[in-house]
Amino acid sequence: MIWLDGERTWAAWRRRALLIFCTLLLIAPLSGNPVAGEQEERRIQVGVKLFPSLLAADRDIAGKRDGDGPLRLLLLYRDRREVAERAAERLREVEKVRGIPIAVEVVPLTGLAGRAKEPFAGMFITQRLGEHLDEVIAVGRERQVVLFSPFEQDVERGVLGGVLVSDRILPQVNVRAMQEAGIRLKSFFLRIADRYEP
């Protein structure tokens, strides 16, 4: 009889453990991976530091503004405006690129079409865009402006500039994207960058 009670207790414990495990499996995708989130945040921070250097390497950057106005830089997001705002705050600390004042604007993907009609000098992606990335790449090429993404694989998908993290951190340039957008980068930048040539 005692053995039977123990068997029932063991079976009840197993059912309870299985229920907890299944609940955790359901909750995990909703809560997101905090480690992945931290890694992406660090990549954004590094990207914000590299982005002005890539803009400064654009030989034609001075002509990508409205008259004598500032260089307009668009920080794009899908649904996480707070991440874009933090990146914008850090980028505004730069103040100037090649002696030209910058104006940083946080723009949702849904508002890009309207903003892209006005002169701007570059776009920085602050959130993974998934299927929408191709649309943003097309805008960058059409407007012949620097498009930068700190996220892995985006340069391989056609973004002009990004971050390569290996034994050291390097700017990364998609050579074909640069050529298709008609962007002329200074040779010193191309020498220090990792050149992705599909």
Domain boundaries, the chain: 1-31, 37-196
3-state SS, residue 164: strand
Note the Cα 39 to chain centre separation in Å.
Answer: 12
Tens-place pLDDT, residues 66-99: 889 999 999 999 999 999 999 999 999 999 999 9
3-state SS, residue 163: strand
pLDDT at 56 over 90: yes
Which of residues 6 and 152 earns the better pLDDT score? 152
The hierarchical CATH code for the domain 37-196 is: 3.40.50.2300
How far apart, in Å, are the Cα atoms of 58 and each of 17, 61, 121, 160, 190? Answer: 59, 5, 10, 12, 11
Tens-place pLDDT, residues 101-152: 999 999 999 989 887 778 999 999 999 999 999 999 999 999 999 999 999 9
Q: How confident is the model at residue 16 (pLDDT cuts 50, 70, 90)?
A: low
Q: How confident is the model at residue 39 (pLDDT cuts 50, 70, 90)?
A: confident
Task: Please give the Cα distance from 50 to 11 (Å, whole number).
Answer: 57
Tens-place pLDDT, residues 151-166: 999 999 999 999 998 8
**Residue 90 neighbours by CB distance under 10 Å:** 14
Q: How confident is the model at residue 190 (pLDDT cuts 50, 70, 90)?
A: very high
What phi, psi does 122 have (nearest 5°)?
Answer: -170, 160
Task: Please give the Cα distance from 19 to 57 (Å, whole number).
Answer: 57
**Tokens representing 139?**
């805008």
3-state SS, residue 130: helix
3-state SS, residue 125: strand
**Tokens representing 59?**
């030989």
Q: Give the per-residue pLDDT at 28.
A: 37
**Tokens representing 145?**
């402006």
